């Protein structure tokens, strides 16, 4: 499949600041390569603190200037236009996501409804979010009400594992609320965010409302997180980086939205539909090569069916087709980088050293056509205890750790025995078990007899070290607004 129409050879992708496409002040660029083939896709301008300063200044001017005069209806019109443009260019976005981070083209194409649906959902909230008239008990003729006002300039830092949808998850509520943004996409997959930034300009948003500054975390990301001109940081990524952002936010007591890591339990009871549970739990951890923050990487299986489940899951994993994501037959693409591949291989080795057994997978794939990319076969580790590192630390790869349990109480205890609390799954045909476990597990989302389903109206976020704040749902736009109380003495 040719892609030179969207990425001509030798192309350079520059920053978007104040409505203009500009090189980095330093003149530096960095490479972004296809993780399936190693082929150079583009040179990308490397933004740093100087570029962040310019972008924040542009965002502030837009916030206090032309964007502040847009009515809710006008903001809605622009968001709907952006949704239309993304829909028209969706095949291009699918290709960019597949080429830049490796996800199978069938996977990236399958996110069309989600991407467009989110933009339309946020467009709807432009005209329905409002303050309230408040009854009060003050003496005299006193009238009280609240106003909902945008926070200001938002700094957004996005991950590489779902470039289009994670970027829309940041841009959508910012634009709906009337805030402005400086976006720092992940250096491993920046191309989609830059293209989306171009369409934001085409959709009619004023210059400076959305600025896109690719670069590295230690420079551009750090400068954005600590910038005195930024009112809120919205970050998706690791808990390690999240803690650094919390420290950096102290500079001016920024508001934060942190969607961090996970080590999600997926609990399979003996009465589950095993065919559905094997496939659902399997893709809950292997999908997108395991590079999903809420992946169900700890599969807890009731002991009477443990051996059968492990056998079935191993067979399922071994039959998944691993290859270049551009091939429509591919089910599992490469991981994003050599660094990520080494990390995953290291964890598998640690798991075996600690007593787990690799029932399938466990090694890099270097056959013809795969040796230039970062491929690893989906791996099933059996005999895992919950105190092992592979059961406690986020691997971010296609590695399932299968843990046995005997009772529902033990399953809940194991499920909660982790620093994280982002997602969880329960597989059972007994409705009472489903409700009891959904309440007992401390995580932001619990899926029952399914895994990973998302919808714009359903809030998503974490407990514990998985962060705070919610993306999607009515609360998402509210989190970008401040409440002002007004009290008027009449007469």
Q: Which residues are catalytic?
A: 259, 293
> Which residues contact residue 470 at a Cβ distance below 8 angstroms, ignoring those fewer than 6 apart?
444, 459, 460, 461, 476, 479
The answer to whether 373 and 35 are in contact (CB under 8 A) is yes
Beta-carbon neighbour count of residue 393 at 10 Å? 16
CA–CA distances in Å: residue 402 to residues 280, 284, 305, 428, 483:
14, 13, 12, 17, 46
Q: Hey, what are 24's tokens?
A: 């980095």
Of 167, 207, 202, whose CA–CA distance to 88 is shortest? 202
Q: Hey, what are 42's tokens?
A: 């583009």
Q: How far apart are CA 95 and CA 328, in angstroms?
A: 12
Of 401, 151, 341, whose CA–CA distance to 256 is shortest? 151
CA–CA distances in Å: residue 167 to residues 73, 156, 197, 288, 387:
23, 9, 10, 17, 35
CA–CA distances in Å: residue 265 to residues 348, 396, 415, 420, 443:
18, 14, 5, 10, 9
> Which residues contact residue 149 at a Cβ distance below 8 angstroms, ignoring those fewer than 6 apart?
178, 481, 482, 483, 484
* Paired strand residues for 258: 235, 468
* Paired strand residues for 381: 358, 401
């Amino acid at each position: 499949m040719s892609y030179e129409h969207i990425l001509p050879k030798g192309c350079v992708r520059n920053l978007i600041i104040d409505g203009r496409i500009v090189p980095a002040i330093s003149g530096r660029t960095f490479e972004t390569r296809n993780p399936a083939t190693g082929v150079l896709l583009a040179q990308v301008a490397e933004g740093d603190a100087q570029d962040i300063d310019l972008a924040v200044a542009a965002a502030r001017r837009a916030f206090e200037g032309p964007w502040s005069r847009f009515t809710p209806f006008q903001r809605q019109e622009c968001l709907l236009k952006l949704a239309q443009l993304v829909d028209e260019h969706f095949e291009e976005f699918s290709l960019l996501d597949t080429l830049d981070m490796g996800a199978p083209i069938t996977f990236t194409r399958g996110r069309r409804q989600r991407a467009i649906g989110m933009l339309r959902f946020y467009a709807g909230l432009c005209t329905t979010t409002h303050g309230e008239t408040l009854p009060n008990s003050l003496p005299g003729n006193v009238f009280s009400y609240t106003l909902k006002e945008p926070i200001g300039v938002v700094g957004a830092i996005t991950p590489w594992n779902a470039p289009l949808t994670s970027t829309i998850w940041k841009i959508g509520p910012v634009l709906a609320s009337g805030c402005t943004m400086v976006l720092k996409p992940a250096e491993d997959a920046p191309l989609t965010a830059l293209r989306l930034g171009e369409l934001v300009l085409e959709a009619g948003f004023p210059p400076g409302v959305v600025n896109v500054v690719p670069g590295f975390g230690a420079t551009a990301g750090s400068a954005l997180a600590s910038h005195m001109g930024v009112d809120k940081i919205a970050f998706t990524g690791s808990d390690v980086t999240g803690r650094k952002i919390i420290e950096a936010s102290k500079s001016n007591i920024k508001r934060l939205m942190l969607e961090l890591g996970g080590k999600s339990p997926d609990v399979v009871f003996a009465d589950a539909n095993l065919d559905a549970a094997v496939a659902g739990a399997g893709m809950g951890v292997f999908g997108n090569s395991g590079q999903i923050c809420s992946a169900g990487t700890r599969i807890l299986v009731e002991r009477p069916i443990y051996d059968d489940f492990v056998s079935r899951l191993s067979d399922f994993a071994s039959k998944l087709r691993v290859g270049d994501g551009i091939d429509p037959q591919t089910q599992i693409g490469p991981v994003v980088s050599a660094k990520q591949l080494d990390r995953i291989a290291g964890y598998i080795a640690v798991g075996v050293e600690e007593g787990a057994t690799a029932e399938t997978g466990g090694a890099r794939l270097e056959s013809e056509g795969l040796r230039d990319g970062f491929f690893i076969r989906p791996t099933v580790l059996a005999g895992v205890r919950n105190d092992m590192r592979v059961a406690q630390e986020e691997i971010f790869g296609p590695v399932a750790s299968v843990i046995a349990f005997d009772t529902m109480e033990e399953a809940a205890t194991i499920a909660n025995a982790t620093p994280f609390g982002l997602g969880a799954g329960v597989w059972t045909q007994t409705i009472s078990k489903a409700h009891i476990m959904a309440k007992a597990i401390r995580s932001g989302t619990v899926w029952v007899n399914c895994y990973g389903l998302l919808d714009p109206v359903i809030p998503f976020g974490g407990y514990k070290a998985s962060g705070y704040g919610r993306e999607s749902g009515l609360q998402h736009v509210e989190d970008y607004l401040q409440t002002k109380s007004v009290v008027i003495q009449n007469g």
